[in-house]
């Protein structure tokens, strides 16, 4: 586990203390148990990381409203783990979306290319199914 130190203004700290005090007054069991300001900061940080990994989640809405979501294609997809996704996953997502190759962000070019080929193959297979069911466009 990593430890960090934060410097926040007195006003921000007061507001966080007030939020904790209000939460302690609640008689319901909804949400996390907050004992102090550190607890609320940890909850906020956890929500931000979950929002980064899970498009469509309420956590994503929070970080999106603050401008913390990148426009990079890999931010559009659910990620299984924390940090940069494996090269194969980046390639697969690019292949699914028919994006130009972004292998410069993937540390392993071979794994990226393998994922891109798999993603493109899956996308083409799905497109072929749609055309079979719907018929060719304009026809």
DSSP 85: P
pTM for the complete prediction? 0.64
Q: Decide: 34 and 24 in contact? Cβ < 8 Å.
A: yes
Q: HSE on the CB side for 75, CA within 13 Å?
A: 12
Joined tokens for residue 58: 């309420």
* pLDDT (average), residues 11-40: 89
Q: Is 137 exposed, middle or buried (0-12, 13-18, 19+ CB in 10 A)?
A: exposed
16 with 37: CB under 8 angstroms? yes
Give me 17's structure tokens.
């203390």
Q: What is the pLDDT of residue 104?
A: 64
Q: Using one digit for the tens of pLDDT, what is the confidence trace for 43-86?
A: 999 999 999 989 889 999 999 999 998 887 677 777 778 888 88
What does the pLDDT read at residue 94? 84
Q: What is the pLDDT of residues 95-121, one digit of tens each?
A: 888 876 666 677 888 888 899 899 999
> pLDDT for 117-134, tens place per residue?
999 999 999 888 887 766
- Residue 83: predicted pLDDT: 84
- Of 10-14, 52-56, 85-89, the poorest mean pLDDT is in 85-89
Query: In the prediction, which pLDDT does 41 show?
Result: 94
pLDDT at 101: 66
């Amino acid at each position: 586990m990593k430890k960090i130190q934060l410097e926040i203004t007195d006003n921000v700290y007061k507001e966080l203390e007030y939020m904790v005090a209000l939460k302690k007054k609640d008689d319901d069991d909804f949400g996390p148990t907050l004992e102090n300001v550190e607890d609320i900061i940890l909850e906020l940080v956890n929500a931000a990381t979950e929002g980064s990994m899970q498009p469509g989640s309420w956590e994503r809405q929070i970080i999106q409203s603050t401008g913390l979501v990148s426009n990079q294609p890999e931010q559009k997809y659910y990620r299984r783990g924390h940090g940069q996704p494996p090269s194969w996953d980046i390639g697969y997502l690019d292949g699914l979306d028919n994006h130009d190759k972004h292998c410069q962000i993937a540390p392993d070019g071979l794994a990226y290319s393998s994922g891109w080929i798999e993603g493109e193959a899956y996308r083409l297979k799905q497109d072929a199914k749609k055309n079979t069911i719907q018929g060719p466009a304009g026809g």
